Amino acid sequence: MPNEKFEKLNDYTLLVTTDFQDWSNEKLRRIFNFQSRQVSEIFIQSSSNATANSMTTTRFSELDSLDEVRAMHAVLSQKGGKPPAPEDLLDGPTKPALKSPALRA
């Protein structure tokens, strides 16, 4: 099972690092920025010769589900962060499924 580490970067940003060392020299870093309403994913692949990185950034409003966003919002809050309220996490055009009242939990 991969090892996950949660780190509060500031009141509105959570870094989640998933280490896959049991299987390979790969790491996945996800940065949940609740102020900019986006998640960045950085995949790091290391070998004895080189390191390769790839990065993607996705707005919360473009995600198919906000389940993980809500879970990471709770983790950041538990770590003393002060992210915007869950009902304020969406902006701009959204998919109909994302407008559910369940986000206000």
Whole domain around residue 25: which residue ranges?
A: 3-104
Q: How many domains does the chain have?
A: 1
pLDDT for 45 equals 82
Q: In the predicted model, is pLDDT for residue 98 greater than 50?
A: no
CA–CA gap between residue 58 and residue 32 (Å, rounded)? 10
Strands in the chain per DSSP E:
3-10, 13-19, 26-33, 38-46, 51-59
CB burial of 10-28 (b: ≥16 within 10 Å; e: otherwise) equals: eebbbbbbeeeeeeeeebe
pLDDT tens-digit map of 14-68? 999 988 766 667 889 999 999 999 999 999 887 767 677 899 999 999 999 899 9
Q: In the predicted model, is pLDDT for residue 86 greater than 90?
A: no
Residue 73's H or E segment, with its range, is helix 67-78
Tokens of 48: 């004895």
Nearest CA to 38 out of 53, 54, 56 is that of 56
